[in-house]
Structure 1
Amino acid sequence: MIENTEDLYCIGCGAKIQSDDPKEPGYTPVSAIEKGLETEELYCQRCFRLRHYNEVSDVSLTDDDFLALLNQIGSADALIVNVIDIFDFNGSLIPGIHRFVGNNPVLMVGNKEDLLPRSLKRSKLKDWVRQRANAEGIHPVDVVLTSATKRHALDELLSAIEKYRKGRDVYVVGVTNVGKSTLINQIIKQSTGMQDLITTSRFPGTTLDKIEIPLDDGKNLIDTPGIIHKNQMAHYLSAKELRLATPQKEIRPKVYQLAAGQTLFFGGLARFDLIKAPQERNGIVVYLDNNLQIHRTKLIKADEFFARHQGGLLQPPTSDEMETFPALERFEFKVREKSDIVFEGLGWVTVKGGSVVAGYAPSGVGVIIRKAMI
């Protein structure tokens, strides 16, 4: 019988181990605590089920709990490594992060780089990330593009961390679902040989408290909990639907010859209207997940088509998910030069100058325009 669990913590999410309340963070049955102490692999029940059964359960942590932890960063003397999803820049930003970091330098890491077409120049992408960060009041000392799952540019990232931390602690921050814990796991594996120390999942929100990883000079690499950003596409989809909507392999661009007055539906998640066009037939290049179904129809019939087929022909979302799925919000753009219409968290559509277009995404999810990357 274990009398005191006060100093025991889950090595997956960092939550304090407790065996009293299954609904609270860190809950672990007594038998599992005893076994974990014997094997020196003590996981809370939530992390255990996540690792072995790919099941995620909710915990009673609020946004305020997460933000209270981040508030500690401003008073620290540290390098801040801000991990973002380069498919979802706006949804990746921690709201008001410039207030949290204080005077600490920020190294911005664009994750999931391996999913982008090889024809996209990485130097252009780095410049765009920096510009978008500056527009949000963040002035990173550097931008590194990487892939946590493929270990792309991991050495470059480690070198940059060492260069800019200058003997200080390192705080790794990010919103949920950007691959932050996967990236830290890769760093740990490369540095120590230990695999999967920190719980990872495709689901939002698996790290519940700070996890401190010792560095050689006595300082720490500190993993903070993923901040919940409600305007992420991932928060509107089930795990099965996420696999159909978010890219898992390098995107293969698809070209559609559209005339003005035609519409493309991206499942039931998003919509693109070509309202006016510079010529009779226009090459529209779509960069989305290779498995996401795309349907073409006439703009004049698009609303009726969507109402009739969302959850059926147009999915995800499935019919079971439609009750909680937000209505699509419309954004119109006058395109003066070759540009990308970016659907945050999904991908983008490249259109020619001289067009008038509209993009639709779930209410709260951004649709923006940028100069064409390719």
Structure 2
Amino acid sequence: MQESNPKLPGYFIIPSAKSIDYKPQINRQPIAEEPEISNSFKRGNLKELVEPEIPGPNPNPKPLVCVRCHSLRHYGKISMARSLENLRNWYQIQSMKIRLWKHGKSGNVPRVVLVVTKIDLLPPSLSPTHLKHWVRQRAREGGANKLTSVHLVSSFRDWGVKNLVDDVCKLAGARGNVWAIGAQNAGKSTLINSIGKHISGKNIQLTEAPVPGTTLGIIRVEGVLPGKAKLFDTPGLLHPHQITTRLTREEQKLVHVSEELRPRTYRIKAGHTVHIAGLMRLDVEEASAESIYITVWASPYLPLHMGKTENVDTMLEDHFGRQLQPPIGENRAEELGQWVRKEFHVRGNSWDVSSVDVAATGVGWFAVGLKGEAVLGVRTYDGVHVILRNSLIPQRAQFFEIAGFTVSKVVSNADQVSNKQRQSKKPKNQIELKETASEALRTCM
């Protein structure tokens, strides 16, 4: 060891003397905590460490809706009433029209695609071929002689939507305009929502409600049709001859058809009457045959009554607004207007199937099956459109209804109220009889 030459081996430096107050510097940085060893790791079950996902934007955010749309979707009523233009409806069937325009061609004429919606409400035994033929015939009678195509669609069951989408996309092209036009509550917005799911997989979220007049203005629906084609949803056309425009929301619930229609058939003779609630009645005034079959196609919530025509005056006084609803309320029938009569002469060749229909707009229809001729008197409120047409659904029910009221909640509730009123009146009458009897005894004494 040496301390003289640093180039030679064994060189070292003698450390300097330390003072008494000298203390070595201590690194006081905190020591990181050791990760806790999980029980699964101790058992030998190794798990891959997965980095936590950073939440991104929601691909399907809930759309912001106004108070009116929220009330319609969840409560089925309009909280903010607005008026619409009084437009005329071209058809009486539950249908809508899709009009298409193509750009880039001179003298372009709009093409009409007639879409019959809510076919899931019709009986499954009805032939689609018969229905399409019937629809085309009714369209020609309404003035639509040139239809590009007819589609039978159910947005709820997703029936026929794909064929409709293919047809509309082909006709619209890359830059066409598609307008959905139809009566109120015909299912236009529901159909457009279904079309959006088929084409782009998007939820369009147009407001749907079983209330007439849900859509207030023309709505351009973006991102549904391919290319630069545009799709427009329009407000429902008002039908001035529909009875539903005069009804309240509670009365509309009874008239609205929300499930599959089922026939209710009567076998009656001349001199008998069938009521559909307090909205419409059919009188069999004359008939060449002994019996005639009347099948009612209407909402199952509407009570029916069959009886003799000579007793119809008592029906109006005693049962309208009670057992026969709508109208709801004793004086409500007077507010709807006066009843008017319309006469029809009908004939048929078979009792097994219905030959003609007597339909009232917004209520339903009577299907008439007979072998011979008959004179029918139909009465409903003034201004309601009543027509005679070829039978839409020829078949009738297997079992016949009996005379009197049909079994329904409306009739049972009305009977309970009337029974309570009778029970409340009985004690008063008994008390009055006792008082008169006691007074008579006093006078005799």
Q: Are the counterparts in 1 of residues 274 and 281 from structure 2 also a CA contact under 8 Å?
A: yes
Structure 1 residues 357 and 366, CA, compared in 2 at 3 Å: closer, same or farther? same
Taking the aligned partners of 1:360 and 1:179, their CA distance within structure 2 comes to 29
1:241 Cα deviation from its structure 2 partner:
2.2
Residue 162 (structure 2) aligned to one of 155, 160, 163? 155
Q: Which runs of 5+ in 1 are unaligned?
A: 1-38, 68-81, 94-101
In 1, Cα distance between equivalents of 2:180 and 2:119: 18
Shift of 1:127: 1.8
Deviations 1:253-292 (A, max 9, x none): 1221101010011110111111112322222222222232
Q: Structure 1 232/304 Cα, relative in aligned 2: closer, same or farther at 3 Å?
A: same
1:34 corresponds to which residue?
Answer: none
Q: For the structure 1 residues 48 and 171, does the alpha-carbon distance in structure 2 shift closer, same or farther, using more than 3 Å as the test?
A: same
How far apart are residue 207 of structure 1 and its match? 1.4
Structure-1 separation of matches of 2:67 and 2:304: 40
Unaligned runs of 5+ in 2: 1-60, 98-107, 349-354, 395-445
**In 2: Cα distance, 1:219 partner to 1:241 partner:** 41
**Residue of structure 2 equivalent to 1:273:** 283
Larger relative contact order, structure 1 or 2 (CA cutoff 8 Å, min sep 6): 1
Equivalent residue for 2:345?
334
Q: Which amino acid aligns with 1:348?
A: W
- Report the secondary structure of 1:336's partner residue: strand
- Determine the C-alpha separation between the residues in 2 that align with 1:361 and 1:112: 26
Tell whether the 8 Å contact from 2:274 to 2:282 is kept in structure 1 after alignment. yes
Q: Percent identity?
A: 35
Query: 2:257 — aligned with what?
Result: 247
Cα distance change on mapping 1:143 and 1:363 into 2, 3 Å? farther
| Equivalent residue for 1:182, pick from 175, 180, 190 | 190
Aligned to 2:363: 346
Q: How many equivalent pairs are there?
A: 311
Is 1:212–1:220's contact at 8 Å kept on the other side of the alignment? Answer: yes
In the alignment, is residue 49 of structure 1 matched against residue 71 of structure 2? Answer: yes
Letter of the structure 2 residue corresponding to residue 333 of structure 1: F
Shift of 1:56: 0.7
Residue 143 of structure 2 aligns to a residue in which SS? coil
Judging changes above 3 Å, is the alpha-carbon distance between structure 1 residues 186 and 233 closer, same or farther for their aligned structure 2 residues? farther
Tell me the equivalent position of 2:398.
Answer: none
Q: How does 1:103-182 map to 2 (within 5 A)?
A: 103-138=109-144, 139-167=146-174, 168-182=176-190
Question: Quick one: distance in 1 between partners of 2:169 and 2:180?
Answer: 13
In structure 2, distance between residues paired with 1:273 and 1:188: 48
TM-score, normalisation: structure 1 = 0.75
Distance between the aligned counterparts of 2:179 and 2:70, measured in 1? 25
Query: Paired residue for 1:205?
Result: 213
CA-to-aligned-CA distance 1:133-184 (integer Å, 9 cap, x gap): 2222223211112223322211122122123334411111112111111111
Q: Which of the pair has more CA radius of gyration?
A: 2
- Displacement after TM superposition at 1:323 (Å): 4.9
CA distance in 2, matches of 1:113, 1:83: 19
* Displaced runs of 4 or more, over 4 A: 82-85
Aligned partner of 1:356 in structure 2 is 375
Partner secondary structure for residue 370 of structure 1: strand
